[in-house]
């Protein structure tokens, strides 16, 4: 979940803090009260909604731009060099 929030993979304290805070033994060790646990649950739900909205926006943008990102639908059968001209027979 840390990666989804944009936290650095290079700092294990940053990337794994959310995983740790979800563990009940950690919550008990740091003496989270019910209000804090509820706030944590609400925050996590908010993050999941935001991520879902971002994914939906990206998906919609990809559909609008076409599968190849050029603004046109790709035909899927363009060969090895889609920009090459067709050779004319020699006369």
Looking at every residue in the chain, the average pLDDT score rounds to 75
**81 φ, ψ to 5°?**
-135, 85
CA dihedral of 36, 42, 44, 48, whole degrees rounded to 10: 180
What per-residue confidence (pLDDT) applies to 68? 56
Q: Is residue 16 very low, low, confident or very high in pLDDT (cuts 50, 70, 90)?
A: confident
pTM assigned to the model: 0.50
Look at residue 19 in the predicted model and tell me its pLDDT: 84
**More reliable by pLDDT, 52 or 17:** 52
SS3 19: helix
Residue 1 pLDDT grade (very low, low, confident, very high; cuts 50, 70, 90)? very low
């Amino acid at each position: 979940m840390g990666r989804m929030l944009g936290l650095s993979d290079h700092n294990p304290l940053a990337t794994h803090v959310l995983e740790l805070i979800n563990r009940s033994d950690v919550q008990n060790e740091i003496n989270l009260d019910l209000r804090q646990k509820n706030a944590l649950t609400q925050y996590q739900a908010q993050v999941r909604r935001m991520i879902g909205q971002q994914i939906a926006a990206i998906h919609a943008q990809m559909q609008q731009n076409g599968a190849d990102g050029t603004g046109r639908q790709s035909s899927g059968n363009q060969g090895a060099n889609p920009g090459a001209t067709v050779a004319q027979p020699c006369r």
